[in-house]
Amino acid sequence: MSPEIPTILQFSLQRLLGGITEHGAAFAQGQAGLIGMMMTLSANEYERGADIRATENAEIRALFAELAPGVRDAALKSELDAAAKSRDPSLRISDLNAGNYALRRLLTRLQIYAEEHGAETAQQRIWAVLKALAARRLVSLGP
């Protein structure tokens, strides 16, 4: 898309703020600041959204491939193997999100299994991936 979404949002913010004079109502200034912050967050999410989701999905699939051999529950192991081999149908955010939600639900089941069976190493690997997922999703107001 040309111009890119971050450029459109930045221009919209400038226009919005340009309409408020120093004698403007405090409420209008506060609203403009809030809208501006939301536009900045939206621009950042647009820039990194697909990358975050595709990376997360690949990381969860790799974890499933790593841990599936140690799972004794045949049904769960089969689901983990299938999920590990699956691929995202596209890089559309909606497709990536749908895959991510399904992978996370299965990850939760794997976590429960690992806890119930005292699989300490598996639990540590799962927590390491969960920490990485959370860190990757941190919201930043900077570049």
What are the backbone dihedrals phi and psi of residue 127, each rounded to the nearest 5 degrees, phi first? -65, -35
Residue 116: is its pLDDT beyond 80?
yes
- The pLDDT tens digits for 42-90 are 777 877 889 999 999 999 999 999 999 999 999 999 999 999 999 999 9
The number of residues making up the chain comes to: 143
Domain ranges of the chain: 5-136
Closest CA to 70 of 20, 135, 125, 22: 125
- The pLDDT tens digits for 5-43 are 777 777 777 777 666 666 667 767 777 777 777 777 777
Residue 140 DSSP one-character state: -
Instruction: Let me know: does 52 contact 137? Beta carbons within 8 Å.
Output: yes
* Spatial distance between the Cα atoms of 114 and 26, rounded to a whole number of angstroms: 54
Give DSSP secondary structure letters for 70-103. G---HHHHHHHHHHHH---S-S-HHHHHHHHHHH
